[in-house]
């Protein structure tokens, strides 16, 4: 029986996913929870697992294609007789008939551990020769499409993704290079940035500008230099994280009336505290930064100003105050701006915050953030200081009441004990939703955070 598997909603009503790579090929035999493909949503890169035991009959799409939720992605040849059928039911129900042993399919993630797991075994199907291994991938052309690959097409899809890192795979997608066709020059055959750049340079034809003239480069323009030696204009599709970020920020900026307040604080005592704490045996292996202290101070201050930890429900005509803190940390990742959050941060002491922040940062850098880590935030911190920036007017993360930007710590002249001295100074920028937070409450929150950073011992008196 032929069973068409439609792309499921991978979380929170997402409407599409970009197909990054296939982990199987036509003719492969797969079992429930075998990984079929790697797809990228606006939330995370996830592995799509098989809901069936069966044989891969057809792959609907090429790497780089954007597949709509509910559109066909894979056709299975399942044991047993019956008419062709499209899987339009929930995945757990649709696959139950093929699971006599009661296993539950896991569509997203790693699925059940299977001894000797690896790439599914391939067998030749009746009437067709076994596909070579590895097979070559068709290079996507034009804009991304979710149109199924026509039956009988000569182009086939890659069975395994070559070894590389997330930033290299992103670079390949940005430059229009099919990474599946590259032989890696790195250790163990890993595809490197240099491999991708070389392929892009070798494959890039002379392109035309909208006016019909050739794209100018330094050589073609008789010495006119372009930035980085790149063409004068380049294009990339708006999709995945960038598309979701643009939609979310536009909605937030034009829905929530933003107010931003600034406070410059002498944080010399906090800097000295960090230096002292780092010497303690139980902190020696941890990365303690000003962000760690601000995170702790923000959690304390939110107890005194719960309005900053609330949510506006316009449809329900209510304000929802959340008596817990899922602390969002804006992070620049290989996939773009992401805001994972630390669940129940109000329960974490300084050491626990340092550990959890380090873990979250590492996962974000590896591009392995999960939808669960990226959802449910109640208040956000963004550390613009790591880029050498003093202050800004951050846009509130949708669904939250406020966001606090942390500026760089600068050594500068400051009034101290009626004299001018060189002190460590930081600027805090708080944006809040004026529907939920009045100026009094926003100012009090900012003052509380500043008081803890200026004199960490004040935490004992204020909270």
Q: pLDDT tens digits for 144-168?
A: 333 343 343 333 333 345 567 767 7
C-alpha separations of 84 from 2, 78, 97, 98, 140 in Å: 5, 10, 15, 15, 29
What phi and psi, each to the nearest 5 degrees, are found at residue 283? Answer: -115, -5
User: Which is catalytic among the residues 123, 225, 411, 434?
Assistant: 434
In this predicted structure, the answer to whether residue 184 has a pLDDT above a threshold of 70 is yes
Instruction: Please tell me whether the peptide bond between 134 and the residue prior to it is cis, using omega within 30 degrees of 0.
Output: yes
Q: Which listed CATH number (3.40.50.300, 3.40.190.10, 3.30.67.10, 2.40.50.100) goes with 2-161? A: 2.40.50.100
Query: Could you state, in order of their start, the residue ranges of all structural domains in the chain?
Result: 2-161, 162-199, 257-462
Average pLDDT of the residues in 23-47: 87
Gap between the Cα atoms of 158 and 290, Å rounded: 46
Extract the tokens encoding 160. Answer: 């395994």
C-alpha separations of 433 from 23, 277, 389, 449 in Å: 45, 36, 23, 18
Residues 383-429: pLDDT tens digits?
Answer: 999 999 999 999 999 999 999 999 999 999 999 999 999 999 999 99
Question: What pLDDT score does 12 carry?
Answer: 58
Q: What is the second-level CATH architecture of the domain 257-462?
A: 2-Layer Sandwich (3.30)
pLDDT band at 112 (very low <50, low <70, confident <90, very high): very low
Question: What pLDDT score does 148 carry?
Answer: 40
pLDDT band at 174 (very low <50, low <70, confident <90, very high): confident
In the annotation, is 434 catalytic?
A: yes
This prediction's pTM: 0.60
In this predicted structure, the answer to whether residue 279 has a pLDDT above a threshold of 80 is yes
Number of alpha carbons in the 13 Å side-chain half-sphere of residue 349: 3
Alpha helices in 86-204 (DSSP H): 91-94, 166-175, 193-203
Crossing angle of the two packed helices 268-277 and 439-454, in degrees rounded to 10: 50
The answer to whether 331 and 361 are in contact (CB under 8 A) is yes
Extract the tokens encoding 30. Answer: 């797969």
In this predicted structure, the answer to whether residue 139 has a pLDDT above a threshold of 80 is no
Q: Which of 292, 302, 258, 290 is nearest to 394 (CA)?
A: 258
Q: Which of 30, 50, 47 is nearest to 38 (CA)?
A: 47
pLDDT band at 233 (very low <50, low <70, confident <90, very high): confident
Residues 234-256: pLDDT tens digits?
Answer: 887 777 677 778 888 888 988 88
CATH topology of domain 162-199: Dihydrolipoamide Transferase (4.10.320)
- Kindly report the CA angle at 180 between 178 and 181, in degrees rounded to 5? 75
Gap between the Cα atoms of 319 and 322, Å rounded: 10
Residues 290-331: pLDDT tens digits?
Answer: 999 999 999 999 999 999 999 999 999 999 999 999 999 999
Question: What pLDDT score does 83 carry?
Answer: 54
Average pLDDT of the residues in 132-152: 37
Q: Which of 136, 137, 122, 21 is nearest to 73 (CA)?
A: 21
Alpha-carbon 404 to chain mean position: 21
What phi and psi, each to the nearest 5 degrees, are found at residue 4? Answer: -95, 125
Q: Which of 179, 170, 176 is nearest to 235 (CA)?
A: 176
């Amino acid at each position: 029986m032929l069973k068409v598997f439609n792309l499921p909603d991978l979380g929170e009503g997402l409407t599409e996913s970009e197909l990054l790579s296939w982990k199987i090929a036509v003719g492969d035999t797969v079992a429930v929870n075998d990984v079929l493909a790697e797809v990228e949503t606006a939330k995370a890169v996830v592995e799509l697992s098989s809901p069936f035991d069966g044989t891969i009959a057809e792959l609907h799409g090429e790497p780089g294609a954007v597949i709509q939720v509910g559109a066909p992605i894979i056709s299975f040849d399942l044991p047993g007789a019956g008419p062709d059928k499209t899987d339009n039911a929930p995945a757990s129900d649709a696959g139950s008939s093929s699971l006599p042993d009661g296993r539950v399919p896991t569509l997203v993630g790693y699925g059940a551990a299977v001894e000797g797991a690896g790439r599914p075994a391939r067998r030749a199907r009746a009437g067709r020769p076994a596909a070579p291994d590895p097979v070559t991938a068709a290079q996507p052309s034009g804009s991304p499409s979710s149109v199924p690959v026509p039956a009988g097409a000569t182009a086939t899809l890659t069975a395994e993704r070559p070894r590389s890192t997330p930033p290299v795979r992103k670079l390949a997608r940005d430059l229009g290079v099919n990474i599946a066709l590259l032989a890696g020059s790195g250790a163990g055959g890993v595809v490197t940035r240099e491999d991708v750049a070389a392929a892009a340079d070798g494959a890039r034809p002379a392109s035309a500008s909208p006016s019909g003239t050739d794209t100018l480069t330094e050589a073609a323009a008789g010495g006119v230099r372009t930035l980085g030696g790149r063409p004068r204009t380049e294009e990339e599709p708006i999709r995945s994280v960038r598309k979701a970020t643009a939609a979310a920020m536009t909605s937030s900026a034009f829905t929530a009336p933003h107010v931003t307040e600034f406070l410059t604080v002498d944080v010399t005592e906090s800097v000295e505290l960090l230096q002292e704490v780092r010497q303690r045996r139980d902190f020696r292996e941890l990365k303690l930064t000003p962000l760690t202290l601000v995170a702790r101070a923000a959690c304390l201050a939110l107890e005194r100003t719960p309005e900053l930890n609330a949510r506006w429900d316009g449809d329900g005509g209510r304000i929802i105050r959340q008596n817990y803190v899922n602390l969002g940390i804006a992070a620049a990742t290989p996939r773009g701006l992401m805001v994972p959050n630390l669940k129940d941060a109000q329960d974490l002491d300084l050491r626990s915050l340092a550990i959890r922040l380090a873990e979250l940062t590492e996962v974000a850098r590896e591009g392995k953030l999960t939808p669960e880590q990226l959802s449910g935030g109640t208040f956000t911190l963004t550390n613009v200081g790591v880029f050498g920036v003093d202050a800004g007017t951050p846009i509130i993360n949708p669904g939250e009441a406020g966001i606090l930007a942390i500026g760089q710590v600068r050594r500068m002249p400051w009034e101290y004990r009626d004299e001018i001295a060189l002190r460590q100074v930081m600027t805090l920028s708080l944006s809040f939703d004026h529907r939920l937070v009045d100026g009094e409450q926003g100012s009090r929150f900012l003052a509380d955070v500043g008081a803890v950073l200026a004199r960490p011992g004040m935490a004992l008196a204020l909270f």
